[in-house]
Structure formats: C-alpha cells, structure tokens
C-alpha cells in the first residue's frame, strides 16, 4: 500500500479517533460499509451478469497487455449527442487485486472531428450497482440526470470537434466506491481508444475531467499516470467534488439515520466486490441488511437512494467485529488520495465547495497543498455554494474552459 504521511492526520483529536473507530465498527466502504461478525452462508452481493456477451472477458485475457483492444462495436446514434457516431470499445485493464479484467468505454465522435483531433476522457458520476447502470447502458436509458447534469458540457466540446470517451469506470463488477480501480480503467481506456484506427485518435491530445464519483476516477487517474501509464501524455485533468479520504467520510457520516444512506450502503457493497476477502460486508450483515442489500445489488441511483433513505448502519449491523481489522482500514486508505504518495505530473484544475456537506473538505485541502508543495501546476477554484451537485453545475464550465486552454497548448496557471 502506498501511503503519504500527512502532518494534519496524526494531530486529529483523541475523541475524533475514538469516533472513527466506533463508526468503523459498523462501517467499511467509500461512504460507509457494514462491519460485522460473520453470518453463515452469506456471499458477496454481486450483480446479475450482463446478458450481452460483448461485455464478457475473452479466454486469452491474461495474455493481453494493459489497454489492449479486445473488441469494438458500433452503437446506435444518440439523441443526447446529435450528429455524432458512437462506438463501444472493450479493452484489457486490471482490478484492485492486480487481476486482469475486461473493461469498456464509449467513444462519441462528432461529425467535425479531425483525424488526431482532441480527446476528452470524461468520467461520469455512477452511483449504482447494477450492470444496466453502466454508462454504456445508461446513455440509452434517457436518464434525466445524465441529460440535465452532464450532456450540455459534453455537447459543448463535441461542437468543437473533440471526441469524448466515457468509460464504465466501476468495472465489470460495478464496484461502486473502489476509486483506485476507476483511475486504472480510465487510463487503460485512453490507451485503448488511441489504438482503434477508425476513431482517428492515435496522436490526439488528451485531457480528463469528472465530478464527484467521476472526479474520484479522474483524480486517481491523474495521480496514477506517472507509474501506471507513463506511456500516456495527458495535457491535464479537471476534477471536482472529490472524496479524498474515505476514512474521514466514514467518521463524518456516523451511525445515525441519513437521507443518503442508500448510497453509503451501496458503496459498501461495491467495495466488497473488489475486496471480498478483506472487507466481507455481506457475510457480516444481519437478516435485514442482507434483504436490503439484495434489493440494491442490481439497482441504479434513484432506486438505491429510495431504498436506503432514512435508514442507518446500525439497523443492519450484527456486531462490531471489524473495529480492529487492519484490512478494513487498509481498504479505505488504499482508495483515499490523501494517503496515496503518488504525485501527478500533469496540470490539475480542482474545484469544490468549501461548505460541501457531503465531503471532508480538509482532506481536499491537504491533498491540494501536498500537490502544490511538490510543484504541480495546480489551479484551485473554490465555489461558494454549500451544496454538492449545484457546485458541479457551476464549476463545470470553468473546468471545460481550463481543459480547452490545455488542449490549445496554453501554459497551465498555478494559484496554490
């Protein structure tokens, strides 16, 4: 595990550390995870396999290199992105345990895209667990959240002639919460689409962007690129609303009822899919927890929120067995950028609300300061709106303008 010693972390108060331990007794995912003693017969709450064989892994997957193209499929045109062609690219990546996986990314190509024109890898917010919730499926579901929240910005760059890659960054297990996995899939997706000659991206200038869960994948991709994908030359990464420390998110959420508890529980289930031996969530749920977990296991965002609204971790926890589990703590740290010792070498644009009620903002500040001290060309743009998703909408045009400047070769500013 890579871990960066952050001066502010050891100085947390004793009461805060006790609170974190108490919550970790019942929590164990990106926002929350149910940490309990074993319930005989339970198994990880995996989603139903995607019925489309395109998404399955080939028999020779282990023999392929990271980013190798496994298959390409032309998809129907999308009303969301008028005048563009759409292709689904399957490629080889790796999961959080270092094992080979088949991942996918959807490439939207505008009618005016020149050969080797710009490519933006945009990581959508995917707060979901079911196969049908992957971006490559959601694009064809008329999801109003997608159309209202993210399509306007993407249409803006498509009008400029840029291609846009939209990776299914939760991976084939829909491992919601496994942030590092999202970074790896994002980088391998960029590698892959540059190899598909028909897409005209072989020598394209590349940038990345994303917010919230998509921001996690983007931020991890930026931090991992120097070691995981040194062959990629990326002009910059713009990300916002990123949970930088999952341990402090667990502490902040606490054990009380919460309107967004469904997302927290879904993140616990998603993390177990990536770390079944180290974070055996479902094995340790009580009967009510297993029933709710099974209802969520193939659900998308709205159903997950509705199922969990107003509930709490203690309703579904059988005991406090994982309170001292080094594996449970390590899983959270391994998916927390505040602990990761890698430093991006590409320019970064980062935006967030200083009053965001969903995020431990001090973790964002610590990570930004560490990057700045290391010499990263970092621009930080606080948005004075105390609401998570409104901050996305307000900040996205600023992020796209910043990315456009990097694509045009303008030197990156630095204000940290």
> Nearest CA to 293 among 86, 65, 42, 120?
42
pLDDT for 19 equals: 37
Q: Which two tokens stand for residue 190?
A: 């960029």
C-alpha 123/C-alpha 145 separation (Å) is 15
Task: Count Cβ atoms below 10 Å from residue 104 Cβ, excluding itself.
Answer: 28
Note whether 46 and 176 are within 8 A (CB): no
Contact 4, 341 (CB under 8 A): yes
Cα-Cα-Cα-Cα dihedral sign, residues 271, 277, 283, 285: negative
Q: What's the CATH fold of domain 53-240+376-407?
A: Rossmann fold (3.40.50)
Per-residue pLDDT at 154 = 94
Residue 290 and residue 39: Cα distance in Å, rounded?
Answer: 10
- Residue 189, CB half-sphere, CA atoms under 13 Å: how many? 33
Cβ–Cβ under 8 Å, residues 330 and 278: yes
Q: pLDDT of 246-285, one tens digit each?
A: 988 877 776 788 888 899 899 999 999 999 999 888 887 8
Beta bridge partner(s), residue 285:
317
Nearest-angstrom CA–CA distance, 128 and 140: 16
Do the Cβ atoms of 192 and 69 come closer than 8 Å?
yes
Predicted pLDDT of residue 321: 64
Distance CA 92, CA 70 (A): 7
CB atoms within 10 A of CB 404: 17
Q: What pLDDT score does 322 carry?
A: 55
Tell me, what's the pLDDT at 26?
35
Give CA–CA dist 283/277, Å, rounded: 10
Place of tokens 């609170």: 19
Return the structure tokens found at 296.
Answer: 């969520």
Which residues have CB under 8 Å from 309's CB, separation 6+?
A: 259, 260, 261, 262
Q: What b/e sequence results for 28-54 when a residue is b if at least 16 CB atoms lie within 10 Å of its CB, and e otherwise?
A: bbbbbbbbbeebeebebbbbeebeeee
Residue 349 has φ and ψ, to the nearest 5°, of -115, 125
- Tell me how far the alpha carbon of residue 57 is from its chain's centroid: 22
The residue extents of the domains of the chain are 53-240+376-407
Q: What is the mean pLDDT of the chain?
A: 87
How far is 302 from 403, CA to CA, in rounded Å?
31
- What pLDDT is attached to residue 383? 95
Nearest to 28 by CA among 258, 394, 276: 276
Residue 378 has a pLDDT of 98
Identify the residue whose tokens are 């713009």.
238
Question: Rounded to an integer, what distance in angstroms lies between the CA atom of residue 96 and that of residue 333?
Answer: 13
- Please give the pLDDT value at position 5: 35
| Measured distance CA(265)–CA(148) in Å, rounded | 26
Sign of CA dihedral 338, 125, 406, 354: negative
Residue 171 backbone zone (phi > 0: left; psi -120 to 50: alpha; other: beta): left
Three-class SS state of 181 = helix
- Both tokens of 128, joined, read 């979901």
- Separation of alpha carbons 209 and 125, rounded Å: 11
Picking from 225, 160, 214, the residue whose alpha carbon sits closest to that of residue 190 is: 225
Q: How far is the C-alpha of 389 from the C-alpha of 260, rounded, in Å?
A: 13
CA distance 378 to 20: 31
Sign of the CA dihedral running 212, 10, 97, 296: negative
3-class secondary-structure state, position 157: helix
Pairing of strands 100-110, 163-167: antiparallel
- Residues in the chain where the model's pLDDT stays below 50: 1-41
């Amino acid at each position: 595990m890579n871990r960066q010693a952050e001066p502010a972390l050891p100085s947390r108060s004793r009461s805060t550390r006790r609170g974190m331990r108490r919550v970790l007794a019942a929590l164990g995912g990106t926002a929350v995870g149910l940490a309990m003693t074993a319930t005989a017969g339970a198994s990880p709450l995996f989603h139903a396999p995607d019925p489309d064989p395109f998404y399955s892994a080939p028999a020779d997957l282990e023999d392929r290199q990271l980013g190798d193209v496994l298959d390409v499929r032309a998809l129907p045109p999308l009303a969301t992105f008028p005048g563009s062609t759409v292709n689904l690219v399957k490629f080889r990546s790796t999961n959080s345990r270092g094992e080979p996986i088949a991942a996918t990314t959807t490439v939207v190509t505008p009618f005016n895209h020149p050969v080797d024109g710009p490519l933006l890898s945009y990581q959508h917010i995917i707060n979901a667990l079911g196969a049908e919730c992957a971006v490559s499926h959601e694009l064809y579901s008329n999801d109003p959240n997608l159309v209202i929240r993210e399509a306007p910005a993407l249409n803006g760059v498509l009008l400029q002639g840029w291609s846009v890659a939209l990776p299914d960054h939760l991976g084939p297990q829909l491992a919601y919460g496994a942030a590092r996995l999202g970074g790896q899939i994002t980088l391998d997706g960029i590698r892959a689409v540059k190899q598909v000659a028909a897409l005209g991206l072989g020598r394209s200038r590349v940038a990345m962007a994303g917010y919230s869960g998509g921001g996690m994948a983007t931020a991890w991709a930026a931090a991992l690129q120097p070691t995981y994908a040194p062959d990629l030359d990326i002009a910059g990464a713009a990300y916002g609303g990123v949970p930088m420390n999952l341990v402090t998110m667990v502490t902040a959420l606490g054990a009380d009822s919460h309107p967004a508890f469904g997302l927290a529980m879904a993140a616990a289930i998603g993390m177990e899919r990536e770390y079944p031996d180290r974070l055996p969530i479902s094995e340790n749920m009580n009967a009510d927890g297993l029933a709710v977990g099974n209802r969520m296991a193939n659900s998308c965002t709205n159903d997950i929120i509705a199922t969990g609204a107003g509930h709490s971790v203690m309703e579904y926890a059988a005991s406090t067995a994982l309170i001292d589990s080094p594996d449970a703590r390590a899983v959270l740290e391994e998916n927390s950028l505040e602990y990761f010792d890698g430093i991006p070498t590409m320019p970064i644009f980062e935006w967030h609300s200083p009053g965001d009620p969903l995020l431990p903002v001090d973790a964002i500040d610590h990570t930004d300061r560490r990057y700045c001290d290391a010499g990263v060309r970092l621009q930080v743009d606080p948005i004075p709106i105390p609401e998570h998703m409104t901050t996305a909408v307000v900040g996205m045009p600023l992020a796209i303008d910043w990315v456009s400047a990097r694509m045009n070769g303008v030197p990156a500013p630095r204000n940290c």
